[in-house]
Structure 1
Amino acid sequence: MYFEFVCGWCGEANVLYGEQAGFWGTKYELPEEWDCWSCDGTNVTPDGPWTEAD
Protein backbone atom coordinates (compact mmCIF):
# COMPACT_ATOMS: atom_id res chain seq x y z
CA MET A 1 0.00 0.00 0.00
CA TYR A 2 1.21 3.50 -0.74
CA PHE A 3 1.26 6.30 1.85
CA GLU A 4 1.73 10.04 1.38
CA PHE A 5 4.04 12.14 3.54
CA VAL A 6 4.99 15.81 3.35
CA CYS A 7 8.68 16.72 3.40
CA GLY A 8 9.64 18.69 6.50
CA TRP A 9 12.24 20.65 4.51
CA CYS A 10 10.44 21.80 1.38
CA GLY A 11 6.77 20.84 1.94
CA GLU A 12 6.59 18.62 -1.15
CA ALA A 13 4.40 15.49 -1.10
CA ASN A 14 6.23 12.15 -1.19
CA VAL A 15 4.73 8.69 -1.67
CA LEU A 16 6.25 5.69 0.11
CA TYR A 17 5.41 2.03 -0.29
CA GLY A 18 4.55 0.15 2.90
CA GLU A 19 5.08 -3.62 3.08
CA GLN A 20 2.20 -5.51 4.64
CA ALA A 21 3.16 -6.87 8.06
CA GLY A 22 0.64 -9.16 9.64
CA PHE A 23 -1.99 -11.65 8.64
CA TRP A 24 -5.02 -9.33 8.45
CA GLY A 25 -3.36 -6.64 6.34
CA THR A 26 -3.96 -3.82 8.80
CA LYS A 27 -0.31 -3.18 9.67
CA TYR A 28 2.41 -1.93 7.35
CA GLU A 29 6.16 -1.48 7.63
CA LEU A 30 7.75 1.70 6.30
CA PRO A 31 11.38 2.84 6.41
CA GLU A 32 12.31 4.85 9.50
CA GLU A 33 13.94 7.53 7.32
CA TRP A 34 13.41 8.57 3.72
CA ASP A 35 14.84 11.15 1.32
CA CYS A 36 12.60 13.69 -0.40
CA TRP A 37 12.46 13.31 -4.17
CA SER A 38 12.44 17.11 -4.62
CA CYS A 39 15.07 18.51 -2.23
CA ASP A 40 16.84 15.30 -1.14
CA GLY A 41 16.30 16.22 2.52
CA THR A 42 16.22 13.32 4.98
CA ASN A 43 12.92 12.92 6.84
CA VAL A 44 11.78 10.65 9.68
CA THR A 45 8.59 8.62 9.21
CA PRO A 46 6.03 9.79 11.80
CA ASP A 47 4.08 7.39 13.98
CA GLY A 48 0.86 6.08 12.39
CA PRO A 49 -1.89 6.18 11.44
CA TRP A 50 -0.74 7.30 8.00
CA THR A 51 -2.61 8.88 5.10
CA GLU A 52 -3.18 6.50 2.22
CA ALA A 53 -2.00 7.90 -1.13
CA ASP A 54 -4.49 8.36 -3.98
Structure 2
Amino acid sequence: MNFEFVCGWCGEENVLYGEPTGWWRELYRVPDVWDCWLCDGANTTPDGPWTPAD
Protein backbone atom coordinates (compact mmCIF):
# COMPACT_ATOMS: atom_id res chain seq x y z
CA MET A 1 0.00 0.00 0.00
CA ASN A 2 1.27 3.49 -0.78
CA PHE A 3 1.22 6.28 1.80
CA GLU A 4 1.42 10.03 1.28
CA PHE A 5 3.82 12.20 3.28
CA VAL A 6 4.61 15.91 3.02
CA CYS A 7 8.24 17.05 2.85
CA GLY A 8 9.24 19.16 5.85
CA TRP A 9 11.63 21.20 3.71
CA CYS A 10 9.64 22.19 0.61
CA GLY A 11 6.07 21.04 1.36
CA GLU A 12 5.86 18.71 -1.65
CA GLU A 13 3.80 15.52 -1.39
CA ASN A 14 5.78 12.27 -1.54
CA VAL A 15 4.38 8.76 -1.95
CA LEU A 16 6.16 5.92 -0.15
CA TYR A 17 5.49 2.21 -0.47
CA GLY A 18 4.47 0.54 2.79
CA GLU A 19 5.55 -3.09 2.93
CA PRO A 20 2.83 -5.28 4.48
CA THR A 21 3.78 -6.97 7.75
CA GLY A 22 1.92 -9.09 10.25
CA TRP A 23 -0.36 -12.05 9.83
CA TRP A 24 -3.39 -10.31 8.31
CA ARG A 25 -1.37 -7.72 6.38
CA GLU A 26 -3.02 -4.83 8.19
CA LEU A 27 0.26 -3.38 9.43
CA TYR A 28 2.76 -1.66 7.12
CA ARG A 29 6.42 -0.75 7.35
CA VAL A 30 7.83 2.36 5.62
CA PRO A 31 11.41 3.69 5.78
CA ASP A 32 12.29 5.64 8.95
CA VAL A 33 14.14 8.25 6.86
CA TRP A 34 13.38 9.15 3.25
CA ASP A 35 14.51 11.77 0.72
CA CYS A 36 12.09 14.14 -1.00
CA TRP A 37 11.87 13.56 -4.74
CA LEU A 38 11.81 17.32 -5.43
CA CYS A 39 14.33 18.98 -3.09
CA ASP A 40 16.26 15.85 -1.95
CA GLY A 41 15.78 16.90 1.69
CA ALA A 42 16.00 14.15 4.31
CA ASN A 43 12.73 13.58 6.20
CA THR A 44 11.75 11.39 9.14
CA THR A 45 8.57 9.33 8.92
CA PRO A 46 6.00 10.57 11.47
CA ASP A 47 4.14 8.26 13.82
CA GLY A 48 0.97 6.74 12.34
CA PRO A 49 -1.78 6.59 11.42
CA TRP A 50 -0.69 7.49 7.89
CA THR A 51 -2.76 8.77 4.98
CA PRO A 52 -3.13 6.22 2.17
CA ALA A 53 -2.22 7.64 -1.25
CA ASP A 54 -4.86 7.72 -3.97
TM-score by length of 1: 0.97
Question: Which residues of structure 1 form unaligned runs of 5+?
Answer: none
% identical equivalent positions: 70
Deviation string 1:3-53 (CA, Å, 9 cap, x unpaired) is 000000000000000100101111001100000000000000001100000
Name the TM-score, length of structure 2 as normaliser: 0.97
Equivalent residue number for residue 42 of structure 2: 42
Which residue of structure 1 aligns with residue 11 of structure 2?
11
- Structure 2: give runs of 5+ residues left out of the alignment: none
Partner of residue 24, structure 1? 24
Instruction: State how many pairs are aligned.
Output: 54
